[in-house]
Amino acid sequence: MIAARLSEDSRVRVLLLESGPADTLPQIAVPSAWPALRGSGVDYSYVTVPQVRTGNAVHAWPRGHTLGGSSSIDAMMFRRGHAADYDGWAEQGADGWDYASVLPYFRRMETVNDGDPALRGDDGPMRPAPAADPSPLARAFVDAATAGGHRFTFIEAPLHRPALHAPANSFTLGIATVPESRGTLRLVSTDPGVPPLIDPNYLAEGQDVRRLVEAIEVARNIAATEPLARWRDREVLPGHNVRQPGGLRHYLQWGTGASHHPVGTCAMGRGAQAVVDPELRVLGADGLRVADASVMPRIVSAGTNAATIMIGEKASDMIRSTHSLSPQ
């Protein structure tokens, strides 16, 4: 996104470096084929250190090693997250990254047919849209969630609207999407080809465990509704006999996995833990900016692709301003 925006000024020459191959694999353009990209030549194939609270398991952390980076292996997902996510960034010292400030960049990067013009763009390069033909199982799941007491408006309505109903036990209420546990990434060599030590510190915070236990119960309630009857068989994991919180917590020790959206290794802000300032400039270095998911002070309550593209849009304006370049 940054290279595309900066090159709109005909006076500018932009060098785009990518250590991986071109994004020509057909699986990249097929959302359902994303599992085939894991461990392939377009994946760095990172893994975590053993996680003591998940049975010493080593978890895969796929990262894109191709033109487009991890956005090319993300199953073409596009979700912004909640307005409160970005307001939270600003509260953590990322001045100018509150929702009102980033909304124009979300709008600028997209074209959405029949979208609310106050919220959606109509002249951008991205064309996000719902699936043209959702699967019967997807429809059944929405019907089941509605039957279980979860309002459909929580899925489809713009999340910033004050009239939006968000029940306390909603199956999309950030359960395990915004973990409280914090990990580390440590370099072990000056050789960039040597993988870092990645320790996400899964389930270190009790609140994460409580949310996941709650999520299991919510999933069970949804699965038990009539719309999913034709799809439903016996419960395999954690098993219908595992009902007590203690048993569910034990299951989480070996049944927890990752959803492959790590952020924050170069978090922006003003405190001692910040790596970049709100202008995305690396602290202590001249002429160097970082503009990807690593600068997020906290993960958004959705996949990170859309937010990362927005960061690129905003970064392009910052660079233009610094170098007195003309926008499109």
Query: What's the confidence (pLDDT) of residue 90?
Result: 97
Catalytic residue among 59, 82, 260, 261: 261
Q: Is residue 328 part of a domain?
A: no
Query: Which pair of tokens denotes residue 259?
Result: 């959803």
Cα distances from 104 to residues 107, 117, 269, in angstroms, run 5, 11, 21
* Distance separating alpha carbons of residues 23 and 40, to the nearest angstrom: 12
Strands 46-47 and 184-186: what pairing? unpaired
- Asked if residue 149 is part of any domain, the answer here is yes
The whole-model pTM stands at 0.88
Q: Please indicate whether residue 250 is annotated as part of the active site.
A: no
The verdict on residue 210 lying in a domain is: yes
How many domains in the chain? 1
The parent domain of residue 63 ranges over 2-323
How far apart are the C-alpha atoms of 8 and 125, rounded to whole Å?
13
Identify whether 313 is part of a domain: yes
| Domain at 307, CATH number | 3.50.50.60
Residue 131: exposure state from Cβ atoms within 10 A (0-12, 13-18, ≥19): exposed
d(C-alpha 152, C-alpha 181), whole Å? 30
Contacts (Cβ under 8 Å, ≥6 apart) of 53: 202, 203, 204, 253, 256
Look-up: residue for tokens 């299991």? 216
Domain membership flag for residue 317: yes
Kindly state whether residue 196 falls inside one of the protein's structural domains: yes
Helices 136-147 and 206-223 cross at an angle (nearest 10°) of: 100
Q: What is the dihedral of CA 328, 114, 100, 272, to 10 degrees?
A: -80
36 within domain boundaries: yes
Residue 82 lies in a domain: yes
Widest CA span in the chain: 68
Euclidean distance between CA atoms 169 and 151, whole angstroms: 11
* CB contact at 8 A, 294 and 265: yes
* pLDDT value, residue 43: 96
DSSP 206-246: HHHHHHHHHHHHHHHHHHTSGGGGGG----TTTTTT--SHH
Q: Which of 131, 17, 13, 125 is nearest to 66 (CA)?
A: 17
Is 199 exposed, middle or buried (CB count within 10 Å of its CB: 0-12, 13-18, 19+)? middle
Burial class of residue 315, CB neighbours in 10 A (0-12, 13-18, 19+): buried
Q: What is the pLDDT along the chain (328 residues), one digit of tens a residue?
A: 999 999 999 888 999 999 899 999 999 999 999 999 999 999 999 999 999 999 999 999 999 999 999 999 999 989 999 999 999 999 999 999 999 999 999 999 999 988 899 999 999 999 999 888 888 998 999 999 999 988 765 434 444 444 434 333 333 333 456 889 999 999 999 998 899 999 999 999 999 999 999 999 999 999 999 999 999 999 999 998 999 989 999 999 988 988 889 999 999 998 888 999 999 999 999 999 999 999 999 999 999 999 999 999 999 999 999 988 876 5
Query: How many CB atoms are closer than 10 A to CB 301?
Result: 19
